[in-house]
Structure 1
Amino acid sequence: MTESFDTVVVGAGWFGLAAAKAYKQVHPNANIAVLEAAESCGGTWSNNRLYPGLKSNNMVGTYEFPDFPMSEEKYGVKPNNHIPGAVLHRYLTDFAKEFGFFDRIQFNTAVNLVEKNGEKGWSLTVTTPEGSRKVDTAKLILATGLTSTPNMPTYRGSENFEAPFFHAKDFCKEAPTLKNVKRATVVGGAKSAYDVCYAMVQQGAEVDLIVRPNGHGPVWIAPAFVTPLKKRLDQILNVRFMSWMSPCPWGGEDGYPGIRRFLHNTALGRFIVRSFWKVLSNDVTTAINYENNAELKKLKPWNSAFWIGSGLSILNYDTSFFDLVREGKIRVHIDNIDHLEPRKVVLVGGETIESDVLVASTGWKKESTIKFAGLGEEQLGLPGTVAEKKALAEKADAEVLRDFPILKDQPKLAFVPKEADPLRYYRFIVPYTMIESRNLAFAGMISCVSTATVAAIQGHWIAAFMGEQLDRAPKSGQEVIDEIMLHTQWGKWRYPSGYGASLPDFVFEGVPYTNLLMKDLGLKTHRKPGLFAELTSPYLPPDFAGLMEEWKQAHEKNAAADGDLKGAPAVAAAAAASS
């Protein structure tokens, strides 16, 4: 039998859980289901992905939902400490239970295909341990995120390796079998590669870390406390005045467009911006002291932190990771793998590495793996011919470089990015072709450093959008297209050493992005007690507590008899007018 729901959320990570909570609160009478491919809540923090020593980059206080504090009494994490993976898994599970939708989550249920179901919405083909079945839904929220499908490399001779070879995603599953491993090889330069290296050394292995010379290079990784004032990095990234130092087309949503124009459109302003980033970068590299050791120097980031995006990470190990490099327990190779032999990894440069295990910390496919059918020629992209889209992109490029001249001086990359269209969604959430129908949205198709807050506000925005309850709407479909192009082309220029060319990548852009969505919802964006605090005090999850109640109170006069709230015309009106 085909199951039928009013709304289906796909994914039970941060963004899926936030969307389910918000939708249930905005539409209390809706029949909701959450479909999750794993056997438990959490996404990255689901039980099957927890490996020894795994902790959050963020410290406690910045990695929690606004309406569900991670109290020390309940979760045992002391102030200024990183959060163990097992605690995050329990916290996210508790969140679903607290807000009354845990029993609506169907675990071990993977969505493979999404098809249009006439005027009724969507028909999903899902796979479970019992087999395949159909699920129908009027509205669909896809929150599969960006860390669902491993980007697994292939190497010549891998069939003859005669030792375990797997992606870091499976490190939890494989870890118990690796206790006697003496020689481990890890491929990758991101934080997950460092995590695997550290864990293997703690288990008694010596590790060879291979970083591709034609990739992004070693991760920008910083101490938890930075700047001469020794402030928490995970907090200062959400300080409003510091967000001014990042060129951002929606930055003016924070209420200070004049200051931003000065900083990015005048020579003196750009000098201030460059100085800020130089101080921030030098503070990190000086603290780690890459230059005092030949092996450690190989891990020095290749480009300024200005260009790196949300790949910026925080040192969260119990002991010094870099001391393991200095001591020779982690050996660094800047090279590519040529081929594999029995228990040997052979590099292009000719070096042969003896290895009892090969772990690929090679990232994720930054796209939804769910297949769509029956959407017509335009699918989930923008309308128009190739030439028309190219013209729109060129127009947006010109606008980005006019408003932010600092982005003209692009870094010299060690690799040539693959030409591909980025995700082009309105507000980074809704495909243009779905704006009028209001029955499809993507949650969490962004990479950011303020996950919990952005997830909560995105979820609220989606719930209101699908009910035609947003307070602010564009005036035309063309305005929507122009915004989509401007915002997505900006990413290519802003974060070439990150994910900017393919998807939204936020660091200091998170605060103005939440302000953008909150203004659509008619919510107050300046939430601090005074101007000084507004500009210098970091925006943390508790600052956004009670948003749903505020929104309901402001809209209660429009409450409909069915229990759903009806607000101002949604974005759909503009898109429909231009269709």
Structure 2
Amino acid sequence: MIATLPEAYDLVVVGSGWFGLGAARAYIQSHPDHKIAVIESNDSVGGTWSEKRLYPGLKSNNMLGSYEFPDFPMKKEVYGVQELGHIPGAVLNRYLTDFSKHYGIYERLQFNSTVGLVESTESGWTLTVTSPSGERKVQTEKLILATGLTSTPNLPSYKGAESFGKPLFHAKDFCRRADELKGAKNVVVVGGAKSAYDVAYAMVESGATVDLVIKPDSNGPVWIAPRKVTPLEHRIDTILNVRALSWFSPCPWGHEDGFGRVRKFLEKTSLGRMLVRGFWKVMGNDVLQRNQYDNHPELQKLKPWHSVFWIGSGLSILNYNTSFFDMIRDGKVRVHIENIDHLALGKVVLENGDELIADAMICSTGWKKESTITFVGLDKTGLGLPIDEKEQANLSLEYDTKVLKDFPILEKQPTLRSKPKKASEPLRYYRFMIPSGMLAKRNFAFAGMISTVSTAICASTQGLWITAYFDGRLEREAKTQDEVTREIMMHTQWGKWRYPCGYGASLPDFVFEGIPYVDMLLRDIGVRNKRKGSFIKELLSPYCPKDYNGVLDEYRTKNGIVGK
């Protein structure tokens, strides 16, 4: 029997969501003759927006113009989305599919293929890939993992679940298991995130009554805003990318926008910090007043528990065809701030003794942030910093002190209701993409291991940065291991203090920090980061994907790269 040789590639990208497609496109256009594969566990592109994850009524938080790749506009006449229209999930799947076909990604895709093992070798990487046809080995010189943060559901374990006798699953499977919900009259939805609201809304639309259960020891109900905010009626999905407003969010890479003096005034002076607090108070109060939480006792239960300043990218938008809050006022969605004690046949029993009749239970309980891929053959530092636990602990304390010294406004943290968890290390990668021990090898990167409201812009920029990094064409990068370690520590330890009610303690979480992050990456690459036509527009006009149209072409021209 003749042994089958492994497939061999110059680059493999794992994942075909926004970040996987952005990374594949940049590399393909810079290396048109290289052999490239994109491995995808689903049977369609899109990640979160893949076909089998599209449940009824699913729409993006973003509206037309803010959720598209810079040089592949989502044209109204092609996709049927109107101004101020939230983009339906099916349209996003079609758009991302069209993008992948336009840039030669689709023909390189391997669907229904899951990477379980990644082995470091002298020539690069060997992947163990499982598909319906069996297990196979894939070799590649370079590897990009773009599996994202919403791949592995976090499904709680409930006492008595084996006797529940009704459909019980994570919101990720809402579309796949929709047939099991037909005729359901009473449904329990667990969670306070936007996806929980989406599921509750869809079930009421289908004729059910919903009990929405939110744990009292969680971060509480999501901050959710109407599509326009502030007395000036700004679009919420673009106001977060206004450069001047980003100054009001203390950030260690904020100075990359070139306005370090303004930031120092806001961060270092009492008057500056007073202005920052005032800004966030106005933003928060505007949303609270528009949503009228205090006008109904049930709706009051969904009033956010903490200031919007501390929330992070979990901030969401009301994108429903009718009022979700009216469903609560009308008693079609009943809110419970309670823990679940146990399950019984067709019942969910709360700790206070209330029994909720349930024809189904759907858990919108978040995602496991750790990768399901096993790495072998790495040195002792693996994916972490090249230091031992004691040195890591000392550095964490050192950078806790430094963060609070540089950003005193973060010292007075909110009082959380959630129980203290065992401290775990956040994702500590250079520029949030490269494990420091692999930096010199230039053959591995993560794409999309950030949670951001500026997904499309960050996805295309990270993709280009990774290509430049692989090719040794970054104009600016850390020179020594100590410099790398200290930058990583500052950037990641900051997250713990900045977004305690978001993901900050475990992974990069961006709200107003997204555009300064893109500034940093473009300056590394040597491409112009200020892309508006005038100083006033640079400060006050929101950055949208179209503003970054041509960035890849500028990079290729600058480096004499000829391609398609």
2:544 is aligned with what amino acid? L
Is 1:538 the counterpart of 2:542 in the alignment?
A: yes
Give, in angstroms, the shift of residue 417 of structure 1: 3.8
Structure 2 stretches lacking a partner, 5+ long: none
1:73 maps to which of 55, 74, 77: 77
Is 1:332 the counterpart of 2:335 in the alignment?
A: yes
The whole-number CA distance in structure 1 between the counterparts of 2:471 and 2:533 is 33
The 3-state SS of whatever aligns with 2:492 is helix
Is 1:400 the counterpart of 2:399 in the alignment?
A: no
The 3-state SS of whatever aligns with 1:127 is strand
Give, in angstroms, the shift of residue 397 of structure 1: 1.3
Give, in angstroms, the shift of residue 176 of structure 1: 2.7
| Equivalent position of 2:429 in the other structure | 425
Give, in angstroms, the shift of residue 438 of structure 1: 0.8
1:353 maps to which of 352, 356, 372: 356
Give, in angstroms, the shift of residue 340 of structure 1: 0.4
Q: TM-score, normalised by structure 2?
A: 0.98
| Equivalent position of 2:207 in the other structure | 204
The whole-number CA distance in structure 2 between the counterparts of 1:376 and 1:431 is 12
2:348 is aligned with what amino acid? V
Summarize deviations over 1:85-124 as a string: whole Å, max 9, x none: 000000000000001121100000000010112x111110
1:49 is aligned with what amino acid? R
Q: 1:517-536 alignment to 2 at 5 Å?
A: 517-536=521-540
Summarize deviations over 1:430-452 as a string: whole Å, max 9, x none: 00011011111000000000100
2:550 is aligned with what amino acid? G
The whole-number CA distance in structure 2 between the counterparts of 1:171 and 1:392 is 43
Q: 1:101-500 alignment to 2 at 5 Å?
A: 101-117=105-121, 119-415=122-418, 416-500=420-504
Give, in angstroms, the shift of residue 179 of structure 1: 2.3
- The number of residues matched between the two structures is 559
Summarize deviations over 1:152-176 as a string: whole Å, max 9, x none: 1110110110100000000001123
Give, in angstroms, the shift of residue 479 of structure 1: 0.8
| Equivalent position of 1:26 in the other structure | 30
Give, in angstroms, the shift of residue 396 of structure 1: 1.4
Query: Which stretches of structure 1, 4 residues or longer, exceed 6 Å deviation after superposition?
Result: none
2:249 is aligned with what amino acid? S
Contact 2:246 2:513 (8 Å CA) reproduced: yes
Summarize deviations over 1:399-432 as a string: whole Å, max 9, x none: 1111100000100001124410000000000000
1:91 is aligned with what amino acid? Y
Give, in angstroms, the shift of residue 367 of structure 1: 2.2
Contact 1:189 1:217 (8 Å CA) reproduced: yes
The whole-number CA distance in structure 2 between the counterparts of 1:326 and 1:425 is 46
The whole-number CA distance in structure 2 between the counterparts of 1:513 and 1:311 is 18
The whole-number CA distance in structure 2 between the counterparts of 1:135 and 1:41 is 20
Summarize deviations over 1:6-55 as a string: whole Å, max 9, x none: 10000000000000000111222211000000000000000000000000
Contact 2:204 2:210 (8 Å CA) reproduced: yes
Contact 2:167 2:180 (8 Å CA) reproduced: no
2:7 is aligned with what amino acid? E
Summarize deviations over 1:328-387 as a string: whole Å, max 9, x none: 100000011111000000011111100000000001011222111121321110012211
Is 1:12 the counterpart of 2:21 in the alignment?
A: no
Contact 2:348 2:356 (8 Å CA) reproduced: yes
The whole-number CA distance in structure 2 between the counterparts of 1:139 and 1:551 is 20
Give, in angstroms, the shift of residue 222 of structure 1: 0.4
RMSD: 1.1
Is 1:90 the counterpart of 2:115 in the alignment?
A: no
The whole-number CA distance in structure 2 between the counterparts of 1:101 and 1:323 is 44
2:537 is aligned with what amino acid? A
Give, in angstroms, the shift of residue 502 of structure 1: 0.1
The whole-number CA distance in structure 2 between the counterparts of 1:346 and 1:110 is 37
Contact 2:442 2:470 (8 Å CA) reproduced: yes
When structure 1 is superposed on structure 2, of 170-179 and 296-305 the one drifting more is 170-179
The whole-number CA distance in structure 1 between the counterparts of 2:355 and 2:28 is 56
The 3-state SS of whatever aligns with 2:177 is helix
Is 1:503 the counterpart of 2:507 in the alignment?
A: yes
1:551 maps to which of 547, 550, 555: 555
When structure 1 is superposed on structure 2, of 521-530 and 422-431 the one drifting more is 521-530
The whole-number CA distance in structure 1 between the counterparts of 2:351 and 2:124 is 52
Structure 1 stretches lacking a partner, 5+ long: 565-579
When structure 1 is superposed on structure 2, of 192-201 and 475-484 the one drifting more is 475-484
Give, in angstroms, the shift of residue 269 of structure 1: 0.3
Summarize deviations over 1:484-526 as a string: whole Å, max 9, x none: 0000000000000000000000000000000000000001111
The whole-number CA distance in structure 2 between the counterparts of 1:367 and 1:498 is 16
1:44 maps to which of 48, 70, 74: 48
The 3-state SS of whatever aligns with 2:137 is strand
The 3-state SS of whatever aligns with 1:311 is coil
Contact 1:26 1:464 (8 Å CA) reproduced: no
The whole-number CA distance in structure 1 between the counterparts of 2:205 and 2:178 is 12
1:514 is aligned with what amino acid? V
The whole-number CA distance in structure 2 between the counterparts of 1:527 and 1:11 is 30
The whole-number CA distance in structure 2 between the counterparts of 1:376 and 1:155 is 39
The whole-number CA distance in structure 2 between the counterparts of 1:189 and 1:379 is 35
Contact 2:119 2:375 (8 Å CA) reproduced: yes
